Amino acid sequence: MSGSSRDNWFERYRADSEIQFFGTITASVSHELNNVISILNQTGGLLEDLLYGAQQGQEITSENLERIASKIAAQTDRGISIIRRLNSFAHTVDEPIMEFDLGELLGNLMALCGRFAALRGIELTDNTGGGRITVKNSPIGVQQVVFLLIRDILGTGQKGDTVSYSIEEGESGTVIVFRLANGREPELPNLESTISHSEEIGATIEVIVNQEQKSVRINLPKQYIPGRE
Amino acid sequence: MAHPKVLLVDDEKEFREVLSERLSRRGLEVDSAESGPTALAMAEKKAYDAVILDLAMPEMDGLEVLQRLLAKNPNHQVIVLTGQATVEKGVKAVKMGAVDFLEKPAEIEPLVKKVEEAHARMLALFEENLDKKITDITRKRGW
């Protein structure tokens, strides 16, 4: 996407980090999948241990078999869920601009970001309320803005912080709202409000930072707003 | 001969449970911790022959846990578990003082072998310290 200014933080990040964004997400997903496979590997090994024990005359109880079957089922479900999210993420680059369900895209991305938040002891709370919210914009552009923002918020955040997100629909467009909350006074990263336009694909993404209210709004206007030189 | 005492540190509950059970079936006495701070508190209260430590954990990174364990007692025998394609972290851990590393998903037999080797080293250290103490005592008493 061409930007209004290469000096603002958003354009600086976007120019250098599209590949990095994909790399970060896929590395995190592969780590999660490796955890699933590790558990399945050990659970399969436990079954082998019980079979070996049975050959030595030890009893295999139905409780043990049920427990093992339950573990395998749970991890398989977890693995399928992770792969579905990764697949959805991969397909967000199919078209430069398209109509998509913003709630689903956001939910998927937040699930992918969940591990980063968990590593910092920070909770991501979905206040979107469910339901389909259709927008026309750049799916990868929206994801990247949200990811960069979450990454910066997690960077300045502390264990116990809560980051909630919601979606507001209006006449002129749709807004994703992020709010910080905690008992203590949380800190937003030192970001400036900025706006990014892409004439080629006809999409605008505007980021509005309010340090006083501890909120960040990502505005997705219905109409493309031409960039100013 | 006493069973080797192992502390297993990993934030994945299912992984801890199933690996603990498999290690117990092989004659090891296993305690487990879901986080670095819990592991450090447990290692203060009980002497373990080996610590099996996952490197990627929330709250406190595995390398920091390793550093703090060794700061308290440089003789801690720590075997780290790394994810795929993070071998360099395992190498870093060994340079920091871990005795070895394995990549997840790790097979049980090599892991048990490393724990038994750690147990043997701890026994040898104990005997060496005991010998030194006896030598000191006999020398002081002029025997």
A111 touches chain B (CB under 8 A): no
At B58, give phi and psi (nearest 5°). Answer: -75, 170
Q: Which of A30, A46, A74 is opposite residue B84, by nearest beta carbon? A: A30
Q: What is the pLDDT of residue B91?
A: 92
User: Percentage of residues in chain B with pLDDT exceeding 70?
Assistant: 98
Rounded Cα–Cα distance for residues A87 and A6 (Å)? 32
Q: What is the pLDDT of residue A205?
A: 82
User: Percentage of residues in chain B with pLDDT exceeding 90?
Assistant: 73
**pLDDT tens digits, one per residue of A57-111:** 999 999 999 999 999 999 999 999 999 999 998 998 888 888 899 999 999 999 8
Contact B18 A35 (CB under 8 A): no
- 8 Å CB contact between A215 and A207: no
Q: Above 70 in pLDDT, residue A214?
A: yes
Would you call A166 helix, strand, or coil by DSSP? strand
Q: Which domain holds residue A104?
A: 96-221
Q: For A30, which residue in chain B has the nearest alpha carbon?
A: B84
Q: Which domain holds residue B15?
A: 5-140
- 8 Å CB contact between B69 and B60: no
Q: What is the pLDDT of residue A11?
A: 58
Contact A121 B14 (CB under 8 A): no
B60 touches chain A (CB under 8 A): no
**pLDDT tens digits, one per residue of A97-152:** 888 999 999 999 998 888 888 888 888 889 988 888 999 888 888 888 888 888 88
B contact test, residue of A28, A33, A39, A50 with most B CBs within 10 A: A39
Q: What is the pLDDT of residue A229?
A: 34
- 8 Å CB contact between B20 and A49: no
**pLDDT tens digits, one per residue of A105-114:** 999 999 888 8
Q: Above 90 in pLDDT, residue B37?
A: yes
Q: What is the pLDDT of residue A10?
A: 57
B59 touches chain A (CB under 8 A): yes
Give the CATH number for residue A172: 3.30.565.10
Rounded Cα–Cα distance for residues A145 and A193 (Å)? 12
How many domains does one find in chain A? 1
Residue A167 belongs to some domain of the structure: yes
Mean pLDDT of the A192-214 span: 71
Q: What is the pLDDT of residue B64?
A: 95
Q: Which run of H or of E encompasses A174?
A: strand A173-181
> Is the complex ipTM more than 0.90?
no
CB pairs under 8 A between A and B: 53
Residue A45 belongs to some domain of the structure: no
Rounded Cα–Cα distance for residues B51 and B75 (Å)? 11
At A172, give phi and psi (nearest 5°). Answer: -90, -15
Q: What is the pLDDT of residue A7?
A: 45
Q: What is the pLDDT of residue B69?
A: 96
Question: Considering only A47-61, B8-22, B116-130, which range has the smallest mean pLDDT?
Answer: B116-130
Rounded Cα–Cα distance for residues B22 and B25 (Å)? 5
Q: Which of B19, B22, B83 is opposite residue A34, by nearest beta carbon? A: B83
Q: What is the pLDDT of residue A182?
A: 65
Residue A49 belongs to some domain of the structure: no
Q: Above 90 in pLDDT, residue A213?
A: no
Chain B nearest C-alpha distance from A121 (Å): 6
How high is the mean pLDDT of chain A? Answer: 82
At B91, give phi and psi (nearest 5°). Answer: -65, -40
Residue A53 belongs to some domain of the structure: no
Residue A154 belongs to some domain of the structure: yes
- 8 Å CB contact between A13 and A148: yes
Chain B residues close to A41, C-beta within 8 Å:
105
**pLDDT tens digits, one per residue of B109-140:** 999 999 999 999 988 988 888 888 888 888 88
Q: Which of B22, B84, B107 is opposite residue A34, by nearest beta carbon? A: B84
Q: What is the largest CA-CA distance in chain A?
A: 82
How many domains does one find in chain B? 1
Q: Which of B12, B22, B58 is opposite residue A35, by nearest beta carbon? A: B12
Q: Which of A34, A42, A118 is opposite residue B18, by nearest beta carbon? A: A42
B136 touches chain A (CB under 8 A): no
Count the neighbouring beta carbons within 10 Å of the beta carbon of residue A177: 19
Strand partners, A43: none
B78-117: b (≥16 Cβ within 10 Å) or e: bbbbbbeebeebbebbeeebbbbbbbbbbebeebbebbbb
Q: Above 70 in pLDDT, residue A186?
A: no
Chain A nearest C-alpha distance from B109 (Å): 11
How high is the mean pLDDT of chain B? Answer: 92
Give the confidence band of A189 by pLDDT, cuts at 50, 70, 90.
low
